Amino acid sequence: MGGTESIENKLKDAVKDLFLKKKVDIVIGFEKGSLPLTSRPCFIRSSDMAERLVWNASCTNNLAVYLPRFFQKVPRAKKSGTPPPVVGIVAKGCDARSVVGLIKEKQILKENVVIIGMSCQGVIDRRKIESFIDGSFIAGGRQEPGGILEITTGVGDKKKIKVSDVLAESCIECQYPHVENADVRIDGESITASDDGYKAIKAFEEKSPEERWQYFTDEISRCIRCYACRQACPNCYCKVCFAEQTLPRWIGPGDELSDVMIYHIGRIFHQAGRCVECNACVRACPVGIDLRLFTRKLCMDVKELFGYIPGLSIEELPPLLRFELNDNNDFITTG
């Protein structure tokens, strides 16, 4: 078969097995969403709940965003001291890299996380589907074996679209679809790793500073400052974000462009050497700002300057967390 359904069944069986062998207390996975052709995070707490799990190209979220909360003190919790649960997490290549990042940054305990590594066929971009069914909306849809989406449009037409034709840009450019650190592996069809050498970024860098600034300005000026990009990002676990600190207040809360830009610049730079390009920020943005271009530029820089890829190895520390005598330091001028 090789379709998503058999992967889905394998996943269900694997999760049931984890519960039966008492290897996990909870599993974060995907269930069917309330809108056509959507999936959403769900929390499986027993083997019989595993039937709810789904696995298909609409499993877009990076579930690692939920992990730190299992290891934090909850304000209302009466007693601390109970050990954190063992959490299983259904992970695509990018999600697993986030998990590794959280382990390295000591937000979660390695021994308390079970990575269920999925073969990833990439996830869909709903906006791309909408452009395929011109003018209408997705009224119904399901994924068939062989990476085919069957869409029912608002006017009742049925359309078949290949998943590969409506993949999210981040998946098209994905260099690490394979889960490196899986504790349990669910095999199936997978997209192949791409290495386009950061073509889009290089092309953007070719533009004049004025053009680049204009692009940044145009994108950022649409921001309504809901901070969904931050909330959806597994890397953004700070208890108080600099954007909301009041003493001192780094940026004003209004819609002045400079304030909005500083928030975004701050957010983007905090991703250097950490961003796994899962695209969660882009999907969360309700006004569709192209945040990926900016973070990807930093991913590229960190890779080229330090040879570091976030989230691949649990042992290797990120460049901004370590110091070496032979670090590239040509930004320091002498004489």
Return residues touching another protein (CB under 8 A).
Answer: 33-36, 38-43, 61, 65, 74-76, 127, 135, 137-140, 154, 224-228, 230-232, 244, 246-247, 249, 252-256, 259, 280, 283-284, 286-288
Element (DSSP H or E) covering residue 307: none
Nearest CA-CA partner of 258 in 226, 229, 219, 217? 217
Element (DSSP H or E) covering residue 196: none
- The CA angle 266-268-273, to the nearest 5 degrees, is 115
* Residue 298 beta carbon to another protein: minimum distance, rounded to whole angstroms: 22
Q: Which of residues 100 and 236 has its CB atom nearest to another protein in the complex?
A: 236
What the block records as the tokens of 119 is 């073969």
Q: Which of residues 39 and 119 has its CB atom nearest to another protein in the complex?
A: 39
Element (DSSP H or E) covering residue 61: none
* Residue 231 beta carbon to another protein: minimum distance, rounded to whole angstroms: 4
* Residue 99 beta carbon to another protein: minimum distance, rounded to whole angstroms: 17
* Residue 154 beta carbon to another protein: minimum distance, rounded to whole angstroms: 6
* Residue 252 beta carbon to another protein: minimum distance, rounded to whole angstroms: 4
What the block records as the tokens of 261 is 């830009």
Helical segments of the chain, H only: 4-20, 93-104, 126-132, 169-172, 199-206, 209-220, 228-231, 257-269, 280-284, 291-306
Q: Which of residues 21 and 76 has its CB atom nearest to another protein in the complex?
A: 76
* Residue 159 beta carbon to another protein: minimum distance, rounded to whole angstroms: 16
Rounded CA Rg of the chain: 21
Q: Which of residues 199 and 249 has its CB atom nearest to another protein in the complex?
A: 249
Nearest CA-CA partner of 303 in 175, 179, 217? 175
Handedness of CA 155, 149, 38, 98 (dihedral sign): negative
Q: Which of residues 256 and 327 has its CB atom nearest to another protein in the complex?
A: 256
Q: Which of residues 198 and 237 has its CB atom nearest to another protein in the complex?
A: 237
Helical segments of 85-198, H only: 93-104, 126-132, 169-172
